[in-house]
Amino acid sequence: MNEQQKPIGYWLKEADQAITACLDRAMAQFGLSRLAWQLLNIVQQQQPVRLDSVSTISAVLADHANLRTTVVALIEHHWLTIVTQHDVLACELTIDPAAQARFADVTRLVHQQRAQLMQQITPEAYQTTLNVLAQLIKNAEASNAA
């Protein structure tokens, strides 16, 4: 089977694994992974936030065990601060004030990595890809609901 004959599921998994490896490697200098960055970014945008209330987290990013492990590590490394104490996924979290400068540095790095990943991809091609993936998801959800 040549490259062009591989199904879309193959390309989706390959793309996700390649992006994860690229971001994990780049963020290792901060002791972060792609998942850790995604969680930090969600907290930064919505703080304070309870991670169990963000529907896309467990559905898309990771299972509860990986989420719990990552959140605990982010708290232990002073990236996140607990506002109210509950279960680690049900507590309110904010970016630790001492981590604000580091967070800004990681944000710059992620933007640089995204720019590198998007080389030779036009905005139109990117939008078409998003539209195709969104339609695939709708089709699959409709099929699953039937």
Tell me whether residue 34 is in a domain.
yes
Tell me whether residue 1 is in a domain.
no
The closest of 132, 116, 114 to 124, measured between CA atoms, is 132
CATH number at residue 51: 1.10.10.10
User: What does the alpha-carbon distance between residue 44 and residue 86 come to, in Å, rounded to a whole number?
Assistant: 20
The pLDDT of residue 24 is 93
The pLDDT of residue 54 is 67
- β-pair partners for 84: 92
The pLDDT of residue 38 is 87
Task: Assign 50 to helix, strand or coil.
Answer: strand
Would you write out the chain's pLDDT as a tens digit for each of its 146 residues? Answer: 666 788 888 888 899 899 999 999 999 999 999 989 988 888 888 878 777 776 566 556 777 788 888 888 998 999 988 877 666 667 788 889 889 899 999 999 999 999 999 999 999 999 999 999 899 888 988 888 87
Tell me whether residue 22 is in a domain.
no
The pLDDT of residue 52 is 72
Tell me whether residue 2 is in a domain.
no
The total of structural domains in the chain comes to 1
Tell me whether residue 6 is in a domain.
no
Tell me whether residue 71 is in a domain.
yes
The pLDDT of residue 57 is 64
The pLDDT of residue 1 is 63
The pLDDT of residue 60 is 66
Sort 106 into a burial class: Cβ within 10 Å, 0-12 / 13-18 / 19+.
buried
Tell me whether residue 103 is in a domain.
yes
The pLDDT of residue 86 is 66
Tell me whether residue 83 is in a domain.
yes
- For 54, the domain range is 28-145
